[in-house]
């Protein structure tokens, strides 16, 4: 089953979602309306790996839940392969898979193979197709040879790859991956990224949320950044880097930098952003500057008595762009 023609695989048009919350005391409760998603619009082309990035509470998961029919939009509309997520719920669910981060959703005392057999029955996979389908998915996610082991003995990365296999059992056209690599060790995360890249090679359309910018940079064809329920930027990773941090990035290693020094550096002409990163025993002052602006000497002059180590320059990363976008720096 595949999308054909010029129809977008996923389309969101001015999606909005509000919630009613109770505040105050038990005797005098007050109701407050919280607008979690405020007019989100984007399109995902068939076969595209699309990233939806944003901080916790920005509206990512709420947006996904509307797209996979778990929440009804307050207003706006959305379609998956041309089917409306409100009026064509059954058709949408037939065509999507959903994988979330974490350990829930698998049966620990069953083997990986038995888990996939069980979910094949649940998803209505024809018995004559199950063996071949499960075999090809085990190969795709790199679990061939380990499928006979109980899931309770799997590493977290292996469990996440089994989650992906489960989400693909009914051969959906569109797969939603909500922070699939959260909490996974570096080796497992690398294997998981290879699995996700393999989905694109199979022609699947993927919507990915992640907090790991290097992961989004490596995997995504295009990215939308959501902040406080609104899309604030959209484009390829390269376009986002050029959009907000066209200049060079200065990094100054220090052995402890005072807050007043950081504030002073922010006042340097041409400086757009200033952040402090902990890297082991060192702190690194990361300074983003305007295009074609040299700020090194001015920044160092503001360091005062701070012990300074290596000073270096590098090209902007997707993380630099993301930080500017979600904090509103440079706006």
Per-residue pLDDT of the chain (331 residues; tens, 9 = 90+): 333 345 899 999 999 999 887 776 667 777 788 899 999 999 999 999 999 999 988 999 999 999 999 999 999 999 999 999 999 999 999 999 998 876 678 899 999 999 999 999 988 899 999 999 999 999 988 899 999 999 999 988 899 889 989 999 999 999 999 888 887 778 878 888 888 898 888 889 999 998 888 899 999 999 999 999 999 999 999 898 877 655 678 899 988 888 888 999 989 998 888 888 888 788 888 888 877 788 899 999 988 888 888 899 888 888 888 887 887 654 4
Same domain, 146 and 287: no
DSSP code at position 99: E
The last residue of a domain, from among 241, 275, 300: 241
Question: Does some domain include residue 2?
Answer: no
pLDDT value at position 154? 92
Secondary structure element (H or E) that encloses residue 233, with its range: strand 230-235
Same domain, 66 and 142: yes
Question: Does some domain include residue 32?
Answer: yes
Range of the domain at 310: 246-315
Shortest CA distance to 10 belongs to which of 204, 281, 171, 270?
204
Contact between 208 and 250 under an 8 Å Cβ cutoff? The reply is: no
Same domain, 193 and 127: yes
* Burial (CB count within 10 angstroms: exposed 0-12, middle 13-18, buried 19+), residue 25: exposed
Same domain, 161 and 231: yes
Angle at 105 between CA 103 and CA 106, to 5 degrees: 80
How far is 22 from 43, CA to CA, in rounded Å? 35
Secondary structure element (H or E) that encloses residue 216, with its range: helix 213-219
Same domain, 274 and 219: no
pTM above 0.75, yes or no: yes
Same domain, 158 and 293: no
Question: Does some domain include residue 330?
Answer: no
């Amino acid at each position: 089953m595949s999308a054909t023609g010029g129809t977008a695989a996923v389309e969101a048009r001015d999606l909005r979602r509000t919630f009613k919350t109770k505040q105050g005391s038990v005797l005098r409760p007050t109701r407050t309306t919280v607008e979690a998603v405020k007019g989100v619009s984007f399109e995902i082309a068939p076969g595209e790996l699309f990233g939806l990035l944003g901080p916790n509470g920005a509206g990512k998961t709420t947006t996904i839940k509307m797209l996979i029919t778990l929440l009804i939009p307050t207003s706006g509309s959305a379609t998956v392969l041309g089917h409306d997520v409100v009026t064509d719920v059954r058709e949408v669910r037939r065509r999507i898979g959903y994988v979330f981060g974490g350990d829930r959703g698998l049966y620990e005392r069953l083997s990986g193979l038995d888990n996939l057999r069980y979910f094949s029955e649940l998803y209505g996979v024809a018995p004559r197709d199950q063996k071949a389908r499960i075999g090809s998915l085990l190969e795709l996610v790199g679990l061939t040879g380990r499928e006979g082991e109980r899931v309770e003995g799997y590493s977290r990365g292996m469990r996440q790859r089994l989650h992906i296999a489960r989400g693909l059992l009914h051969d959906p056209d569109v797969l939603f991956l909500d922070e699939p690599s959260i909490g996974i060790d570096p080796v497992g995360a690398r294997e998981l990224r290879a699995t996700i890249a393999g989905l694109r090679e199979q022609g699947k359309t993927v919507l990915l949320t992640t907090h790991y910018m290097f992961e989004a940079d490596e995997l995504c064809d295009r990215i939308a950044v959501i902040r406080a329920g609104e899309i604030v930027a959209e484009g390829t990773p390269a376009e986002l880097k050029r959009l907000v941090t066209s200049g060079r990035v200065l990094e100054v290693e220090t052995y402890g930098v005072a807050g007043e020094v950081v504030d002073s550096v922010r006042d340097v002409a041409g400086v757009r952003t200033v952040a402090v990163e902990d890297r082991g025993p060192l702190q690194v002052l990361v300074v983003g500057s305007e295009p074609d602006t040299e700020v090194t000497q001015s920044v160092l002059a503001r360091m005062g008595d701070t012990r300074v180590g290596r000073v270096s320059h590098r090209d902007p990363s997707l993380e630099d762009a993301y930080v500017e976008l979600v904090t509103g720096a440079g706006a």
